[in-house]
Amino acid sequence: MKKVRKAVFPVAGLGTRFLPATKAVPKEMLTVVDRPVIQYVVDEAREAGIEHFIFVTGRNKAVIEDHFDIQFELNHTLAQRGKDDQLARLQRLQPLAGQTSFTRQQEPLGLGHAVWCARDIVGDEPFALLLPDMITLPDQGCMKSMVELYERTGTNVIAVEECDPEEAHKYGIVGKGANIHTGFEITGMVEKPKKGTAPSNLFINGRYILQPEIFKILENQERGAGNEIQLTDGMLKLARKQKFYGFHYRGRTFDCGSPEGFVEANVAFALSRPDMRAKVADLIEGLVADFGPVRRRSAS
């Protein structure tokens, strides 16, 4: 059984829901408190023992590559000014030489196509896939536990969380089979099932460990929903030959792919920090008082 050494991060999306902010700044570089969203996802992968970070990028994404490079002028200035703590913090976040790779997804053909673009860098070994829109609190890393389950099962692993059964039609849902170690056998997968037809309320939360055979499948995968090459369609084909296991993540995932989720993540991550919690809580209470009661829309 090969170790999971590499992780793929699909970062080619245009981020249209955040325009005009993302006209010049990639959505993955928008900050949650004081770090870019992509930094949280890379840190989660590093915590899980990942050694090589593969970014599938697009146009206007060069700043992501710059972020994970050394900025000599900044380091020199921090050292000259005696800001050793800040310098040490940057150095801790810095990948080692040769640990990052960047490849282009030249057309927006879907998540399955983005994963396929990393095939030559990943090679013939299992790999982690982390969707950068989805971030978890630093003390509740999901990928580390997934790697531990992979080491017990030796095959594909997908992380899932619970949702309101009435909301299951909005997500990719898995069917749950027998419990195995810290996970369970996946009996089926369906993307956005019709209301009342979902096999469970366990939705895929953007974390995967996949075997390299997925690349050959994606190479010949026909376009599906949205006229894109869907990863779920490829995984369904792979599941005919290989087992898939689910890891039920008990932490909290924040979807930074929407403005509301992005704001929620900023509030949650600020409140999770002891150095900010009290002040941010006071600020929120004060703002709610200043703006008055919220008139919520009726559910219809």
Q: Residue 132: which CATH number?
A: 3.90.550.10
- Whose CA is closest to 103, among 93, 112, 94, 114? 114
Using a 10 angstrom Cβ sphere, with 0-12 exposed, 13-18 middle and 19 or more buried, the burial of residue 73 is exposed
Work out the percent of the chain whose per-residue pLDDT is above 70. 98
Residue 119 is predicted with a pLDDT of: 96
Domain annotation covers residue 260: yes
Does the pLDDT at position 70 exceed 70? yes
Tokens of 148: 């531990």
Number of domains in the chain: 1
In a domain, residue 259? The reply is yes
Q: Is 178 inside any structural domain?
A: yes
User: With 90 as the cut, is the pLDDT of residue 152 above it?
Assistant: yes
Task: Report the run of H or E that residue 291 belongs to, with start and end.
Answer: helix 277-291
* DSSP β-bridge partners for residue 218: none
Mean pLDDT value across residues 260-266: 95
Cα dihedral across residues 126, 43, 145, 163: positive or negative:
negative
Mean pLDDT score across all residues of the chain: 90
> Is the pLDDT confidence value at 143 over 90?
yes
CB 189 within 8 A of CB 172: yes
- Domain holding 264, by residue range, is 6-291
pLDDT band at residue 293 under the 50/70/90 scheme: confident
In a domain, 298, yes or no: no
* Residue 296 covered by a domain: no
| pLDDT tens digits for range 1-39 | 899 999 999 999 888 899 999 988 999 999 999 999 999
| Residue 1: inside a domain | no
Q: Is the pLDDT of residue 224 over 80?
A: no
Supply the pLDDT for residue 222.
78
pLDDT exceeds 60 at position 229: yes
If you compute the radius of gyration of the chain from its CA atoms, what whole number of angstroms results?
A: 20
Written as six digits, the tokens of 128 are 């982690």
- Judged by average pLDDT, the poorest of 36-40, 94-98, 126-130, 157-161 is 94-98
Measured distance CA(110)–CA(261) in Å, rounded: 22
* Helix, strand, or coil (residue 203): strand
State residue 300's pLDDT score. 43
Q: Give the mean model confidence (pLDDT) for residues 143-164.
A: 94
Question: Is residue 300 one of the residues assigned to a domain?
Answer: no
Residue at 299 is within a domain: no
Strand partners, 31: 36
Q: Among candidates 168, 196, 180, which has minimal Cα distance to 243? A: 180
Dump pLDDT digits (tens) for 170-193. 888 999 999 988 899 999 888 888
